[in-house]
Amino acid sequence: MKKSILRACASAVALAAAASIAAPTFAQDAAAPADSEETGLDEIVVTASGRDKSRLDSSVSVTSVDAELVDAFKPSSEAEVFRMIPGIQVPGTSGPGGNSNIAVRGLPVATGGSPFVQIQEDGLPVVLFGDIQFGNNDYWTRFDASVERVESVRGGGSTTFASQAPGAVINYISHTGKKEGGFVSLSKGVNYDETKVDFRYGGPINDTLRFHLGGQFKTGRGPLGADFNVSDSIQVKGNVTQDIADGNGYFRLLFKVADTQEPNYTGAPALATLSGNKISNVQPFPGFDGRNSSNYSIYNRDFLIYNRTGQLERVEMSGISTKQTQLGGQLHYEFDGGVTVDNNFRWSKLSGSFASPFLNVRRAAGIVGSTVNGQVVGSIRYASGPNAGQVFTGTYVDDNVNVRTNIRDLGSLANDLTIAGKFALGAFDLTARGGFFYMNQDIAMDWHVNKSLREVSGNNPSQLDLYNTAGARMTVEGISGYNNNWGNCCARDYDLSYTNTAPYAALELDSDDFAIDGSVRFENIKASGGGRTGGAEFNVNSNGVLIPTMTANGASEVLDYSRNYVSWTAGALWKANSNTSLFVRASRGGRFNGDRQTFGGKIASNGALCTGAMAAAGTMGCSADGVTPSVDFVKQYELGLKNRGDLAGGRYTVEITALKGNFKQSTFELSATRCPGGSGGCVIDARYKSYGAEFYGTYNNGGFTLVGNATWTKATRSGVGSGGTPTPFTRAPYMPDLVYTVQANYDILDAATLGLNVTGQTSIIDDAGRQYPGGAVVGVNLRVMPLSNIELGIQGYNVFNRYDLRGSGNIADGSTSPIVLGTGPALGRTWTASVKYSF
């Protein structure tokens, strides 16, 4: 196994322990956010908040999902963890590597990533921007045994207590060893090849010192049946906490090391019926069932790129790979007189790669006889596999890219300092907070987007080579171009840096019956660095074939600008009684458009943002306004109810929030299917409006537990017409009106647990307005405890093996009956067995 990771873990533990032992004498019972003994609506909110209010008494929409609930649900990716949170809308079909489109409250993702949702670990962002191109925030986070719970705040505090998160914050909160104990569990795929080991252990070292260590190891070919290991990951996280002598605080050191490789699934073809604009009766494509297969292939397990040093290099088709080292520290101290200081620091070293065979199905007719790279195509032949050299006569081909992006550096340095004071004013308590956030985010990458051709198959598809009319080979291993698939836009090489500073302030007036609050955040982002796009094409001799090639020697772009903006929120809470509260809130939050602003004609030759006037005049290399779209603003309005009580001999909680929001966005899009004229690489400008409601509820009665969430929204979109004027608002593409997850468990005499879960959504439309059916998948789990510390389990996902569409869709061939689609289905039926030893 990865010995460097294990050595790093040992070193970090030793460093943390030594630092804590060397600290002054401390006491036992300081308040710490993790390992909380409070549950339900009494749980203290620690995410994007003042860290001193329960969920019931907070005038924000906040949800906490504990580790036991996630473990029973057995999510197949981080996206499915997010589907357990109301307000978060994510397809969950991209695979365990990440690269999900994470929307919130009906505010869609215009291109990719999570532009308005920030993922945090222990209160600090894993990366500053959620939609970094080939570096989305879900690449870098894994739910493992070290996590105590996942807490999410939508709207409200996410606007002013975090940067770049006007929609929501999702915070992975670690165990800290308040309670001694742990476990080791082994999970094994029954009808697929995957092995996963989760472990954690923690507890007090002495009266004032405690620790926790946890992590995960995972390997296998995955549920979509690749014939080589697409998963090969290890992650270890730990912390040591020293409580302060007077009982007023703590100091904590944290570390994380990870070396992960997980697949990125890009969809599958399917057959369907088209009636008008309505698609129905979706069925698997012959030879390629997206429920249990993908276009990962042993014949495309590695491929050639033209690298940044001017050499042909063979790289692995390794999905999304990350290497992470993180060190952090937290300080919490409560002074006499009601003054509290909190500081949270983290240094991160992140790197990795993105390598994936994108999928696009088209008819093969017309390729023979066409001109490619200056030659007429005479035939298509198998480049590999059992049919190598034979003429290809199939009806369809996959002509999308082999892409490799080297993530050279995505490291960061972050610190968040808050000082709060609480003062009695007669019948009211006044709390004042001031803070300062700093984060420097590096983004250094080089892109390699090859023109590729392969057969359409879910069973080790072969690459396809083109031959000219004289019988000479025109392509190599199915590749007809290095780095040039999307033109000179995307043969990129850049090294950028963004520094975000943000002072913020909040006031809250609290009484027995009412509370009002307001906060403001002053953002400044400084952009620096630069890069180049592709230059003129040239030929490279690859195994005796001249292949057109691009490299990043084209026009350079330099960044040297800063941008300031203000975010705010205000809210009020009525404490109707000890079991009921109602709140209202309004907020406006900004989100800086980072690397997606580059190489689109929006940066002037001197590094400044282009103004509209400069773009109209074409001065200093400007072709588009860069100032206006550099910050996307989200406005949200909320009305919420929280209630708990007794029902039929059990206890329930209900949280309902009515919401309305709107935003505008300008961002760079890679996908040819979303760009005018079908060319990859374009800037999309759009406005969005949404209204709806989100729900989260729980019910406990004896051994029966029921947890459910739902998000209902009406999302609309307005684009830009041919004359530059906004188009009318119409239904937003790829956004279901309803997304829901329900989970029920029943404990039988503390000896067994039987569980059932359902996750689903209603229909979506594509960019052309065609409607795709909604649906749901059902999961089951059974856990048996033959001994008090041994648990045996069997979990089933999508037990009815439904072909459930969740992701984006498009018509690949509408000339046949049934038609051929490009789809993003949920995983098919999978069974996983597990054994867990607790101690």
Q: Which helix (H) or strand (E) holds 79?
A: helix 78-82
**What integer pLDDT is reported at residue 623 of this predicted model?**
92
Structure tokens at 502: 């943000």
Structure tokens at 479: 């590749």
Helix (H, G, I), strand (E, B) or coil at 81: helix
- pLDDT of residue 216 exceeding 90, the answer is yes
Average pLDDT over residues 697-702: 96
- pLDDT of residue 702 exceeding 60, the answer is yes
Q: Are the C-beta atoms of 113 and 134 separated by less than 8 Å? A: no
**What integer pLDDT is reported at residue 669 of this predicted model?**
54
CA 79, chain centre distance (Å): 7
Query: Tell me: the pLDDT tens digits for 555-611?
Result: 999 999 999 999 999 999 999 999 999 999 999 999 999 999 999 999 999 999 999
Local confidence band at 546 (pLDDT 50, 70, 90 cut-offs): very high
**What integer pLDDT is reported at residue 39 of this predicted model?**
64
Closest CA to 432 of 424, 444, 440: 424
**What integer pLDDT is reported at residue 664 of this predicted model?**
78
Query: Tell me: the pLDDT tens digits for 355-398?
Result: 999 999 999 999 999 999 999 999 999 999 999 999 999 999 99
Structure tokens at 792: 């045996």
Closest CA to 531 of 409, 713, 440: 409
Backbone angles phi, psi at 286, to 5 degrees: -55, 125
Cα separation of 512 and 573, whole Å?
11
Query: Tell me: the pLDDT tens digits for 784-805?
Result: 999 999 999 999 999 999 999 9
**What integer pLDDT is reported at residue 726 of this predicted model?**
83
The DSSP 8-state label assigned to residue 72 in this structure reads: H
Closest CA to 779 of 821, 832, 734: 832
Local confidence band at 50 (pLDDT 50, 70, 90 cut-offs): confident
- pLDDT of residue 663 exceeding 90, the answer is no
Local confidence band at 18 (pLDDT 50, 70, 90 cut-offs): very low
* Length, in residues, of the chain: 839
The DSSP 8-state label assigned to residue 6 in this structure reads: H
Q: Which residue reads 């007429």 in tokens?
A: 376
Decide: residue 184, CB within 10 A, 0-12 exposed, 13-18 middle, 19+ buried. middle
Q: Which residue reads 């001193």 in tokens?
A: 52
Average pLDDT over residues 679-704: 84
Question: Within 13 A of 636's CA, how many CA atoms are on the CB side?
Answer: 38
Cα separation of 358 and 90, whole Å?
20
Local confidence band at 246 (pLDDT 50, 70, 90 cut-offs): confident
**What integer pLDDT is reported at residue 92 of this predicted model?**
85
Instruction: End-to-end CA distance of the chain: give it in Å, rounded.
Output: 25
Q: Are the C-beta atoms of 739 and 782 separated by less than 8 Å? A: no
Cα separation of 268 and 353, whole Å?
23
Closest CA to 194 of 724, 774, 827, 839: 827
Helix (H, G, I), strand (E, B) or coil at 803: coil
DSSP assignment of 151-201, as one string? EEEESTHHHHSSSS-SSEEEEEEE--SSS-EEEEEEEEESSSEEEEEEEEE
DSSP lists the bridge partners of residue 209 as 242
**What integer pLDDT is reported at residue 372 of this predicted model?**
97
Closest CA to 733 of 717, 745, 720, 721: 717
**What integer pLDDT is reported at residue 401 of this predicted model?**
96
Q: Which residue reads 């001994």 in tokens?
A: 787
Query: Tell me: the pLDDT tens digits for 477-499?
Result: 999 999 999 988 899 999 999 99
CATH architecture of 31-174+335-838: Beta Barrel (2.40)
Of all residues in the chain, what percent carry a pLDDT higher than 90?
A: 83
Across 60-64, 436-440, 538-542, least confident range: 60-64
Structure tokens at 347: 């240094």
Closest CA to 47 of 176, 167, 174, 169: 169
DSSP lists the bridge partners of residue 776 as 760
- pLDDT of residue 26 exceeding 60, the answer is no
Cis peptide before 818 (omega within 30 of 0): yes
Q: Are the C-beta atoms of 577 and 569 separated by less than 8 Å? A: no
What is the identity of the amino acid at 396?
Answer: Y
Q: Are the C-beta atoms of 422 and 429 separated by less than 8 Å? A: yes
Q: Are the C-beta atoms of 79 and 91 separated by less than 8 Å? A: yes
Backbone angles phi, psi at 314, to 5 degrees: -90, 125
Average pLDDT over residues 264-271: 95
- pLDDT of residue 19 exceeding 50, the answer is no
Cis peptide before 461 (omega within 30 of 0): no
DSSP strand pairing (514-532 vs 493-510): antiparallel
The DSSP 8-state label assigned to residue 462 in this structure reads: P
Measured CA angle at 9 (ends 3, 12), to 5 deg: 140
Beta carbons within 8 Å of 614's beta carbon, 6+ residues apart: 604, 620, 622
Query: Tell me: the pLDDT tens digits for 708-753?
Result: 999 999 999 988 777 668 889 999 999 999 999 999 999 998 899 9
The DSSP 8-state label assigned to residue 826 in this structure reads: P
Backbone angles phi, psi at 234, to 5 degrees: -140, 140
What is the identity of the amino acid at 629?
Answer: P
Q: Compute the chain's Rg from CA coordinates.
A: 27
Q: Are the C-beta atoms of 540 and 487 separated by less than 8 Å? A: no
Cα separation of 562 and 736, whole Å?
37
Neighbour tally for 40: CB within 10 Å: 15
Backbone angles phi, psi at 614, to 5 degrees: -65, -40
**3-class SS letters over 232-254:** EEEEEEEEEEEECCCCCEEEEEE
Question: Within 13 A of 145's CA, how many CA atoms are on the CB side?
Answer: 27
Q: How far is CA 426 from CA 50, 395, 429, 431, in A?
A: 22, 80, 8, 13
Helix (H, G, I), strand (E, B) or coil at 628: helix
Closest CA to 755 of 737, 771, 743: 743
Beta carbons within 8 Å of 565's beta carbon, 6+ residues apart: 523, 590, 592, 631, 633
Q: Are the C-beta atoms of 265 and 336 separated by less than 8 Å? A: no
**3-class SS letters over 709-759:** EEEEEEEEEECECCCCCECCCEECCCCCCEEEEEEEEEEECCCEEEEEEEE
